[in-house]
């Protein structure tokens, strides 16, 4: 029987049945390096109501035609099969997940999928104030919220139009309904918000939040900016320590990408996600499902496996399960940034972080 080939272009081969060896494997799935892969980040849409400078190019961002995006029934079918393979945690992302039609119904269905233990979401929170109650009732457990600046003008500039006041209302709604402890994400870009890391970190002194500083990654469309403007975690830590004194190391837990520290006596924590300067591929437990139905095997590599083609060609659940297992098995060890290998196919807004 022919095997499915992993491709590194948008051109997908016609769907073919997977090899028999991928059927009926015992759960949960492990990749060829023995890592247990149980966390699926699901991009609900490649569209976004922001245009963050580190995420999308100002012009020429790629958006898939609507008919190429997974429908609700297709998405739920893939998640149900992924759960059979051993995926337990689902994070909804995008683009901006809160602009997906039927979001609340999708969350409810995913939360009730046998095998799924937790549904969380990464959002810019612009629409969260209106949606938080319904999402909580539907079974959403936690949210990570992107906030790169506490200055309304700079926030608008970095997001190309975002309204900080509405985002803050979304953050307050997230707290009110109990999506905590909140994790806040800031991508630090030299010359834009690197002068604000202390203000952002200060949020954790009297709030139980985790403020996470993310090194900018060279995804498609922002590679030049990332090369020129990435700020290493070590530099951020040095800047914070010059103001707050030595940070207390809290831990680096399991597959969490963030190394956590605390400002002395702070209620919350600081997280450092050092994908560029100190990769953490050895503990990676993640794969991504793009809004157009591809399993993307490593954030910073182009390898993908087409599930949408299989779904629409009439594949059975067993066939889809075999494809998911194959994708897990073939997950690359890690990214190739130290060797100059950069992703060329997709921007972060298509992958969801
Ligand atoms: N729209 C949602 C949001 O803003 O959180 C979810 C999608 S966004 C692509 C997910 C995460 O990716 C955000 O925390 C964002 O800051 C991060 N991100 C986007 N581009 C990035 C880049 N080039 N390097 C590192 N992180 C990036």
Summarize pLDDT for 212-222 with one digit per residue, the tens: 999 999 999 99
- CA 353–ligand 1 middle distance (angstroms): 5
Q: Whose CA is nearest to atom 23 of ligand 1?
A: 217
The pLDDT of residue 241:
98
Report the SS3 class of residue 134. Answer: helix
Q: Whose CA is nearest to atom 20 of ligand 1?
A: 55
Q: Whose CA is nearest to atom 17 of ligand 1?
A: 353
φ/ψ of 185, rounded to 5, equals -110, 130
Average pLDDT on 33-41 reads: 97
| Range with lowest mean pLDDT among 9-23, 127-141, 164-178, 244-258 | 9-23
Mutate to test the pocket of ligand 1, among 55, 184, 236 (most ligand atoms within 8 A of CB): 55
| Range with lowest mean pLDDT among 17-21, 62-66, 242-246, 286-290 | 17-21
- CA 98–ligand 1 middle distance (angstroms): 14
Provide the pLDDT confidence category of residue 22 given band limits of 50, 70 and 90: low
Report the SS3 class of residue 226. Answer: helix
Which one is predicted more confidently, 129 or 14? Answer: 129
The pLDDT of residue 11:
38
- CA 71–ligand 1 middle distance (angstroms): 23
DSSP of 141-209:
-EEEEE---SSHHHHHHHHTS--HHHHHHHHHHHHHHT--S-EEEEEEBTTTTGGGHHHHHHTTTSS--
Taking the C-alpha atoms of residue 293 and residue 70, their distance in angstroms, rounded to an integer, is 6
- Supply angle C-alpha 214, 6, 312, rounded to 5: 100
Taking the C-alpha atoms of residue 202 and residue 207, their distance in angstroms, rounded to an integer, is 9
Query: Measured from the CA of 185, which atom of ligand 1 is nearest?
Result: 14
Ligand 1 site: residues with CB under 6 angstroms?
A: 48, 54-55, 93-94, 96, 122-124, 146, 185, 187, 214, 216-217, 219, 222, 226, 348-349, 352-353
pLDDT at residue 242 is higher than 80? yes
Cβ-defined contacts of 5-14 (< 8 Å, 24+): 6/297, 6/303, 6/304, 6/305, 6/327, 6/330, 7/303, 7/304, 7/306, 8/302, 8/303, 8/304, 8/345, 9/302, 9/345, 10/345, 12/294, 12/306, 12/309, 13/306, 14/309, 14/313
Query: Measured from the CA of 144, which atom of ligand 1 is nearest?
Result: 5
Provide the pLDDT confidence category of residue 339 given band limits of 50, 70 and 90: confident
Inter-residue contact 72 to 293 (CB < 8 Å): no
Give the distance from CA 259 to its chain's centroid: 17
The pLDDT of residue 225:
94
Q: Whose CA is nearest to atom 12 of ligand 1?
A: 353
């Amino acid at each position: 029987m022919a095997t499915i080939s992993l491709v590194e272009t948008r051109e997908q081969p016609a769907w073919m049945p997977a090899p028999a060896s991928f059927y009926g494997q015992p759960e949960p799935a492990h990749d060829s390096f023995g890592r247990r892969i149980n966390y699926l980040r699901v991009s609900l849409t490649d569209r976004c109501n922001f245009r963050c400078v580190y995420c999308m190019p100002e012009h020429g961002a790629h958006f898939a035609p609507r008919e190429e995006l997974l429908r609700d029934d297709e998405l739920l079918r893939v998640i149900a099969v992924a759960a059979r393979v051993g995926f337990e945690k689902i994070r909804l992302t995008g683009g901006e997940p809160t602009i997906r039609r039927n979001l609340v119904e999708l969350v409810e269905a995913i939360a009730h999928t046998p095998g799924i233990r937790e549904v969380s979401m990464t959002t810019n929170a612009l629409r969260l104030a209106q949606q938080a109650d319904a999402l909580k009732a539907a079974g959403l457990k936690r949210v990570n919220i992107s906030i790169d600046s506490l200055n309304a003008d700079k926030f608008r500039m970095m997001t190309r139009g975002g309204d900080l006041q509405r985002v803050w209302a979304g953050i307050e709604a997230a707290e009110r309904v109990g999506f905590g402890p909140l994790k806040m994400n800031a991508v630090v870009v030299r010359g834009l918000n690197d002068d604000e890391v202390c203000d952002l970190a200060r949020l954790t002194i009297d709030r139980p939040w985790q403020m996470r500083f993310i090194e900018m990654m060279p995804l498609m469309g922002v590679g030049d900016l990332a090369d020129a403007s990435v700020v290493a975690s070590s530099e951020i830590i040095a800047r914070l320590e010059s103001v707050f004194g030595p940070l207390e190391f809290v831990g680096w837990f399991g597959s969490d990408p963030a190394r956590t520290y605390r400002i002395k006596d702070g209620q919350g924590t600081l997280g450092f996600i050092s994908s560029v300067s100190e990769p953490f591929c050895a503990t990676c437990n993640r794969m991504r499902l793009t809004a157009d139905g591809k399993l993307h095997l490593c954030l910073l590599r182009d390898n993908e496996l087409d599930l949408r083609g299989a779904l629409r060609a009439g594949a059975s659940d067993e066939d889809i399960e075999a494809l998911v297992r194959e994708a897990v098995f073939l997950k690359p060890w890690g990214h190739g940034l130290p060797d100059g290998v950069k992703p060329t196919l997709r921007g972060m807004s298509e992958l969801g972080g």
